[in-house]
Amino acid sequence: MIQLIIVILVTVILWRTAWQWRKSDITGREFFVWVVFWSAIALASFVPKQADKFAQIIGVERGADLFVYFSIIILFFVVFKILVRQQSIQREITKIVRKNALANPLEGKDNEVNINKNAQSGRSDSDI
Amino acid sequence: MRVFVVIPAYNEAAVITKTVSEVSALYQAVVVDDGSTDNTALLAHSAGAAILSHAVNRGQGAALQTGIEYALNRQADVIVTFDADGQLSVKDIESLILPIKDGKADIVLGSRFLGQANSLPFSRRMILKVAILLTRFYTGLKVTDTHNGLRAFSVKAARELHIRQDGMAHASEIIEHIKKYNWRFIEIPMTMFYTEYSLNKGQKLSGALKIIWDMLLSRLGK
């Protein structure tokens, strides 16, 4: 029964991934990594004893446990990558907002007076 | 001597006219309207400030950096940062900028704990003390106040300053700049007036935790 659920889930995921790849939302390399990863999970569900043996090579009792450990490591890595990327996007937004603000200042009373004076006398701002 | 006073403001329509009027009577006021949804910008301009408008809210750190860059472009000699919410006194600016005028400091920090913090609630005092301890531990600098909006920068310091913390963690980041660039710094006593309005707008415990989180995140991303 569990094999059937896993196969259905993996099929849906791979179908969606293939669709994203066709739309160029993900690169060929990312698509390849996902296909290998999910296929390995589907395969392991059919040969649990072999998966256990494989897990024991790296010191984990069961194949299913290895999968859970591995998933947590990947999740941490993905969350970290997303946080760093999100920070970088935030900084880019700030840069754009700042550039826009500095390009369109509404001069204050003193500066307006100075600018008008300078325009009349031909002086630059720094001479004030 | 061109003294620019940079005032970041986000939805401060209730108090901005008073703050800007007092500042612009003596100095060049620059209000960075940080994506306000009320008429903060309009009121501040009517009161005599130059206005820089952030199209969307980016946080106090981001607003300060924008205002400081504007002041540098306008050949400022001293750049002061000032709060919009009425907690600070314009009278303190004179003594704040003096060490920079005299060439004795690159940055001058206002300290409520050397001066007076009127009606400072106990919980706020505790949060600030923890922030001070953490900053002292991290930078090794014996500062007595860290998250105080009243500061003055020389042109040299302002040019070296690059605030990357858009939110409230910029205050700790500025102290880190002192260490990084070996700025000469002086703290001066100042008076902080807490009002119901400023306490409602100010930092709470959740804000303090966010500052710590932002600082940790920025280190991860380096």
**Closest Cα to residue B52, out of B38, B37, B39, B63?**
B63
Question: What's the pLDDT band for B202 if we cut at 50, 70, 90?
Answer: low
pTM of the model: 0.81
Please tell me which residue, B201 or A67, carries the higher pLDDT value: A67
**Alpha-carbon span B219 to B222, nearest angstrom:** 5
Provide, as residue numbers in chain B, all residues whose Cβ is less than 8 Å from the Cβ of A115. Answer: none
Q: How far is CA A63 from the centre of its chain?
A: 28
**Closest Cα to residue B57, out of B36, B86, B77?**
B36
For the stretch B62-72, pLDDT in tens is 999 999 999 99
pLDDT at position A85: 92
Mean pLDDT of B150-176: 95
- Report the residue of A87, A94, A113 to disrupt the B interface, i.e. the one with the largest count of B CBs within 10 Å: A94
Taking chain A (128 residues) in runs of 10, the rounded mean pLDDT of each run is 89 94 92 92 88 90 89 92 92 97 87 47 40
Per-residue pLDDT for B54 more than 80? yes
Please tell me which residue, B211 or A65, carries the higher pLDDT value: A65
Write the ipTM. 0.89
Write phi, then psi, for B214 (nearest 5 degrees): -60, -40
Q: Determine contact, residues B18/B86, Cβ cutoff 8 Å.
A: yes
Mean pLDDT of B30-35: 98
How far separated are the first and last CA of chain A, in Å rounded? 83
Write phi, then psi, for A54 (nearest 5 degrees): -60, -45
Q: How far is B58 from chain A (nearest CA, A)?
A: 6
pLDDT at position A2: 83
pLDDT at position B17: 97
pLDDT at position A64: 85
- Report the residue of A109, A114, A115, A128 to disrupt the B interface, i.e. the one with the largest count of B CBs within 10 Å: A109
Check if B52 contacts A (Cβ < 8 Å): yes
Residue count (chain A): 128
Task: List, in sequence order, every residue forming a beta bridge with B108; answer none if it has no partner.
Answer: B152, B186
Place of tokens 């880019």: A92
Give the number of other Cβ atoms within 10 Å of residue B137's Cβ: 8
Q: How far is B107 from chain A (nearest CA, A)?
A: 22
Q: Determine contact, residues B148/B171, Cβ cutoff 8 Å.
A: yes
**Alpha-carbon span B94 to B84, nearest angstrom:** 18
**Alpha-carbon span B122 to A91, nearest angstrom:** 35
pLDDT at position B221: 60
**Alpha-carbon span B47 to B37, nearest angstrom:** 18
Mean pLDDT of B89-115: 96
**Alpha-carbon span B156 to B16, nearest angstrom:** 29
**Closest Cα to residue B153, out of B190, B90, B108, B99?**
B108
